[in-house]
Amino acid sequence: MRQKHGQNFLIDNNISAKIVKAADFDLMDNVLEIGPGKGILTKLIVSNVNFLTGIEIDKILFQQLDSYFSFSKITNIKLINQDFLKYEIPDIKRKFISNLPYNVGTAIIQKILPLQNWTTAVFMLQKEVIERLAAKPGNKDYGYISVFTSYYADVEVLFNVSPKCFNPPPKVMSSVIKFKNKKTEVPEPVLFEFVKHAFSMRRKTILNCISSFCDIPKDKASSILKCCGLNAFLRPDKLSIFDFLSLTKKLKL
């Protein structure tokens, strides 16, 4: 039976151990786990960190896991029954880990990456989403979320996970990805506004993207591209985060 919140529970102990190992936890770390579910990662993490916070949206799963840790007299963990997307994350240095819910995984990543006070995050998601998160310019999967991710973090795709490792098995392959915080400055709003606009017309040239975004003549848009050393006939999917940053600085003039 499909779970209320669309969970696919990881049941493979070897995979769970690999995910936790990838996070490089130590006894000084404060960790936030999103959607601990039945606790297969949680039980491995808690003895290896300073403090673990788990945010679980499902009331029954929350109660079961909370009872387990209370009975076990494990005190360096706090479980919260809340939707993570509505949770106000305390401003302390931390690491993140999760077998992310497939239906809101990208939204969760977009909430976390812009935060300043995190170091690393290890997440499992469907393989096709992770391919988009990690895609480089020129790749067919490269798009808005790839640029967003590359602005905030260094990305490493670690390994794939078979549907057989879950209950119920999802219909897709999963992958594990690791982010390391670049600690970049808060960008000007125009950066991601322009990136989103450009990829909404990804088959057009970057010249057309700039002209329509700024409502300026194409000769002026061409001058901006020339100043940035970019070919006016490139498509958006050929531009790196550095190219977009260079362009948006000029677009502010």
What CATH number does residue 66 fall under? 3.40.50.150
Could you tell me the residue range of the domain that residue 194 belongs to?
A: 189-251
121 and 24 belong to one structural domain: yes
Q: What is the pLDDT of residue 101?
A: 86
Residue with tokens 């329509």: 212
Q: What is the pLDDT of residue 1?
A: 34
- State yes or no: pLDDT of 7 exceeds 80: no
Of 139, 165, 181, which residue is a domain's last? 181
Cα gap 112→84, rounded to integer Å: 10
Report the percent of the chain where pLDDT is more than 90: 93
What value does the mean pLDDT take over residues 95-123?
96
Whether 96 and 32 have beta carbons less than 8 Å apart is answered as yes
Residue 6 pLDDT class (50, 70, 90 cuts) = low
Query: What are the b/e assignments for 34-46, b being 16+ CB within 10 Å?
Result: bbbbbbbbbbbbb
155 and 128 belong to one structural domain: yes
31 and 47 belong to one structural domain: yes
Q: What is the pLDDT of residue 137?
A: 97
Of 181, 200, 224, which residue is a domain's last? 181
119 and 226 belong to one structural domain: no
Alpha carbon of 7 to those of 10, 33, 50, 116, 122: distances in Å?
9, 15, 28, 29, 18
pLDDT, tens only, 32-75 = 999 999 999 999 999 999 999 999 999 999 999 999 999 999 99
pLDDT, tens only, 153-211 = 999 999 999 999 999 999 999 999 999 999 999 998 899 999 999 999 999 999 999 99
In a domain, 3, yes or no: no
177 and 228 belong to one structural domain: no
What value does the mean pLDDT take over residues 120-126?
97
202 and 237 belong to one structural domain: yes
Residue 251 pLDDT class (50, 70, 90 cuts) = confident
166 and 198 belong to one structural domain: no
Do the bridges between strand 174-181 and strand 166-167 make them parallel or antiparallel, or are there none, so unpaired? unpaired
Number of domains in the chain: 2
